[in-house]
Amino acid sequence: MSTLLEIQSRFAAGVFQGSDGILSDLADDGRQAARFEVYRNNTHASILEVLADAFPTVQTLLGESLFTRLVTAFIRHAPSRANHLLDYGAELPDFIALSEPLADRPWLVDAARLDWARNAAYGAAEAAPMGADALQGLTAEALLALRPALVPSATLLNSDWPIHTIWMNADALAESGVAPRAEAVLTARPAMQVETILLHPAERALLQTLQDGGTLGEAAVAAQQTDPAFDLMTAFAGHLSAGIFTHRKNEEPKEN
């Protein structure tokens, strides 16, 4: 008589490694191998569905059959250790980066990072957005010393590949491949919708500096160094009204 520990260990090995030690634990009715196969298939199908939902761009770029092979290898390499799979897939971009068969499509790594950023943004923590009123009445000096944070759902992604174009046109690019051209995107869920927008290089420098904890003055310098002609105030005001910024902890506006 096997213990529960033995049965569950052999069952999991049967699902993930394809070993058949579990079959001797099942009632011998001549169908046990076929019946165990149902569990193996259901398990793989359910995890595949989770990752297909989280990585739609990668799935489109690879096609269903190659994506399924990728997921099968990933499950074996890095199975979920949590009781639910809402957070499962965070390691898939790095796994793709190390995948030899996918090395001829290096843009897939950033496509996976963008998919993951969008997936994470949907359920990310909420934060009160910084409104335009936070800037009213500030002296120029005080304005430049301000250190707005990005909302918790925000992710900046700098890519050597045209990542925004890839995300928008994954269907077409699945066939043609992608030529290298740098693009940066911001993904965030300022309200109820997850949004991904293409960033001007100077705008990227601005937001990156703020995300790293810099002041608005430092961010302005970084943006100007990237492109002296860049219209900093319009870009900042646009992100402010879109609700991308929030107050840094301990820097909440004081009640009067």
Partner 1 sequence: MKGTITSLPPTAGFGLRHPHVLDVISRPPAIDWVEVHTENYMVPGGPRLRQLDAIRERFDLSFHGVGLSLGSVDEPDREHLTRIRDLVCRYRPAALSDHIAWVRAPAQVGGASLNDLLPLPCTEEAVDTLARNIRIFQDATGCQVMVENPSMYAAFAGAELDHADFVSETVRRAGCGLLLDVNNIHVSAHNLGFDARDYLARMPFDAVGEIHLAGHAERADAGGTLLIDDHGSRVRDSVWTLYDQALAATGAVPTLVEWDTEIPELEVLLAEVRTAQSRLDALRPGARTAS
Exposed, middle or buried, 115 (CB in 10 Å: 0-12/13-18/19+)?
Answer: buried
Nearest residue to 95 (alpha-carbon basis) of 80, 78, 79, 82: 78
Cα separation, 59 vs 49, in Å, equals 11
In the complex with partner 1, which residue's Cβ is closer, 235 or 242? 242
Q: 203 is written with which tokens?
A: 């705008």
- Count of positions on this chain that bind partner 1 (CB under 8 A): 51
Query: Does 18 contact partner 1 by CB under 8 A?
Result: no
**Least Å from the CB of residue 10 to partner 1:** 9
Interface map 212-251 toward partner 1 (x if CB under 8 A): ----------------------------------------
C-alpha distances in angstroms, 193 versus 57, 79, 91, 167, 230? 18, 30, 24, 17, 28
**Least Å from the CB of residue 116 to partner 1:** 15
Interface map 174-213 toward partner 1 (x if CB under 8 A): ---------------x--x---------------------
Neighbouring residues of 77: CB distance < 8 A, sequence distance ≥ 6? 95
Query: Does 90 contact partner 1 by CB under 8 A?
Result: no
Neighbouring residues of 116: CB distance < 8 A, sequence distance ≥ 6? 54, 55, 89, 90, 92, 93
Query: Does 79 contact partner 1 by CB under 8 A?
Result: yes
**Interacting residues toward partner 1 by CB under 8 A:** 1-5, 7-9, 11-13, 15-16, 24-32, 34-36, 38-39, 42-43, 46-47, 50, 79-86, 88, 121-126, 152-153, 189, 192
